[in-house]
Chain A
């Protein structure tokens, strides 16, 4: 496939994630939308790694596989981030008995 379809697909997923972060108030759903955005970026990185396989990059053999290693490290960091973030959400639920992020307005003062 041409690279543009991958770019448009990733953009659509990323923008749906942004709409979710902007419109929802449930902290867990906002967190899931962030995961969605991370995955759209991963998809785009893999598509780019397959695109550069044949062009200039043919003389640098590790150039294309670097992108896939990078996606692997993004997944590693995302897993660590999810564990800490869900712990924070649980602590917030224990203090306020709600996962509505508007309760965090009280951090203002």
Chain B
């Protein structure tokens, strides 16, 4: 077991523990903090696969911007830990069992495939570097890039219009 595999398993366990913490926390603030842990673990996976641009974008956009937005909204609402009323236990069990069944079906359907043993290259490969991706983005994907700027503008206007007081 070399250092890359040890890091892979460490980050995987961290991501799954963090995801369980997001679902299991009573207080929404703790959920946000666990979700930041998950995002950092996923960024670590990107770095292991040498996708450096996506790792940095993941940290800046998700852990930086989106999570601050969530924390700001939670702070604005002043939610307490007991804001969520105790839910029907049967429904909770049913939801958990349904999710586990979905995972069972996926694993059973995929685990027999021949493709499953192909190796994902961990170190090396320059397709994740920002110079390469920037060339592809501004040569082949200029029009989607510009359209996404229009999307951002409309999302900004929409958020202001929806959130404005009457």
User: What is the number of residues of chain B that contact chain A, defined by CB distance less than 8 Å?
Assistant: 85
CB-CB under 8 A from A64, the residues of chain B are 125, 127
B141 lies within 8 A of A69 (CB): yes
A2 lies within 8 A of B12 (CB): no
A6 lies within 8 A of B54 (CB): no
* Count of A-B residue pairs with CB < 8 Å: 236
CB-CB under 8 A from B128, the residues of chain A are 46, 68
A2 lies within 8 A of B118 (CB): yes
Contact of B119 among A43, A51, A77 (CB under 8 A): A51
A19 lies within 8 A of B107 (CB): no
B118 lies within 8 A of A3 (CB): yes
A22 lies within 8 A of B95 (CB): yes
B22 lies within 8 A of A33 (CB): yes
* Bound-state Cα–Cα, A87 to B159, Å: 5
A 1-40 contacts with B by CB, 8 A: 1-9, 11-13, 15-20, 22-26, 28-29, 31-33, 35-36, 39
Is A80 on the interface with B (CB-CB < 8 A)?
yes
Q: How far is the CB of A94 from chain B (nearest CB, A)?
A: 8
Is A104 on the interface with B (CB-CB < 8 A)?
no
Residues of A within 8 A of B (CB): 1-9, 11-13, 15-20, 22-26, 28-29, 31-33, 35-36, 39, 42-43, 46-51, 53-55, 62, 64-66, 68-69, 71-73, 75-84, 86-91, 93-94, 98-100
